[in-house]
Amino acid sequence: MKFFLDTANLQEIQEAVELGVLDGVTTNPSLMAKEGIKGTDGVMSHYKQICEIVDGDVSAEVIATDYEGIIREGEALAELHPNIVVKVPMIKEGVKAIRYFSDKGIKTNCTLIFSAGQALLAAKAGATYVSPFVGRLDDIGHDGLQLVQQIVDIFSNYGYPTQVLAASVRHVPHLIQCAELGADVVTCPLNVIMGLLNHPLTDKGLATFLADHQKVNS
């Protein structure tokens, strides 16, 4: 299972790289705004910086919603760095653009997936990744993890190469359940990855070992 960080924060990306477990990064316009990135040049330069820190796929989202605009923005993003994955929204023009990018060998991440049908359509168009938003479905009283399960099963039935990238993963149980369901990738904030470290019995056991070591050496 691949771990992607869902952030545009360079320090957090660096920290995850140093932990030695980071496989890639996903961003979106909201995450870029959170970092105070301004203007097209600022956005492009920020993507480049992310690509220089992490050795893996970096999803960069288009803003256009018309076919020509998505193609124009996606091609410019793809030219920035070989690790860029063009993130395209699940809309009709987006599906057409995913087919275009796929035929040109440009990797894509189809975002804002909230149903199995949307995921199937994106896979048919040749998306590299589909991103079901787990937490946002939970937010409205649906079961985000059930959608991940459906998509994993459907892709497995037909051997689709499209990878299931579980997004809007908010906490450790989400991440673990995505792993149990066979999601190819999870993307989440750094605190969720760091949360995997924690167990009170580990802390207690280590404190005991260190105290006993003191006895041995006193």
Residues that bind ligand G3P (CB under 6 A): 6, 26, 28, 133, 135-136, 167-168, 170, 187
Residue closest to 185 by CA, chosen among 206, 205, 160, 165: 165
Closer CB to ligand G3P, 67 or 114, in the complex: 114
Catalytic residue among 87, 104, 124, 204: 87
Whole-angstrom Cα distance, residue 203 to residue 207? 6
Active site annotation includes 124: no
Least gap, CB of 200 to ligand G3P (angstroms): 27
**The residue type at 42:** G
* The residue to which tokens 């699940």 are assigned: 90
Closer CB to ligand G3P, 100 or 137, in the complex: 137
Least gap, CB of 135 to ligand G3P (angstroms): 5
Least gap, CB of 134 to ligand G3P (angstroms): 8
Closer CB to ligand G3P, 125 or 167, in the complex: 167
Phi, psi of 183, deg, nearest 5? -60, 140
**The residue type at 62:** V
Please check whether residue 183 is in contact with residue 1, taking contact to mean a CB–CB distance below 8 angstroms.
yes
The tokens for 141 are: 């009283």
Could you give the residue numbers annotated as active site?
Answer: 87
